[in-house]
Copies of this chain bind each other. A is one copy, B any other.
Amino acid sequence: MSSSATELDALLHAGGDRITAYGMLLEAQAALASVVSDELERTSGLPHAWLEVLVRLSRSPERRLRMSELAGQVLFSTSGLTRLIDRMETAGLVGREACPNDRRGAFAVITPAGEDALRHALPRHLESLDRHLLHPIGEDDLAVMTEILERLRDAARRSTATHEVP
């Protein structure tokens, strides 16, 4: 009898704090994203990814961004972004423009309808974040959490960049 049930039990109860912390990260993100996304969909008819795209485009100098740049910002694969822009284009919220310098490239551009949608959705989204994110924990803990999460994110990104074996 090599590894018995008792050994496994020991493993299951050891390091409970890390498991708990990781589980909490997953659960909190899932619960919060679920309620915030639902509310955004309900009040503005926009999936969260769409709002993200509209915000990025609207923030950028010329109100437009290269496809691959935008993909990087919203953490999508380039093919995923192609399809996302397809859907938003048929909805009339964004358009495509050819890039004059580099004829391979394409811009995604926000349309007037896209700006209208953003003007409608953004205040509601901010209010939603107030209710579900700021209010439950207060602004001090919000800042603390943000800073910790930032270190966590950066460390994770560093190790993916490092361990990459193409």
Could you say which residues of chain B place their CB within 8 Å of the CB of A31?
152-153, 156-157, 160
How many A residues have CB within 8 A of the partner chain? 65
Asked if A59 and B25 sit within 8 Å, CB to CB, the answer is no
Contact code string A21-56 (vs B, CB < 8 Å = 1, else 0):
110111111111111101000000000000000010
Q: What is the count of identical protomers in the complex? A: 2
Q: How far is the CB of A146 from chain B (nearest CB, A)?
A: 5
A24 proximity list for chain B (CB < 8 A): 145-146, 149-150, 153
CB of A82, distance to nearest CB on chain B (Å): 20
Give the interface SS of chain A, mostly helix, strand, loop or mixed: helix
Shortest Cβ-Cβ A-B pairs, 4 listed: A136-B155, A31-B156, A28-B153, A28-B149
Point out residues on A near B: beta carbons under 8 Å: 3, 7-8, 11-12, 14-15, 17-22, 24-36, 38, 55, 58-59, 75, 115, 118-119, 122-123, 126, 129-137, 139, 141-146, 148-153, 155-157, 159-160, 163
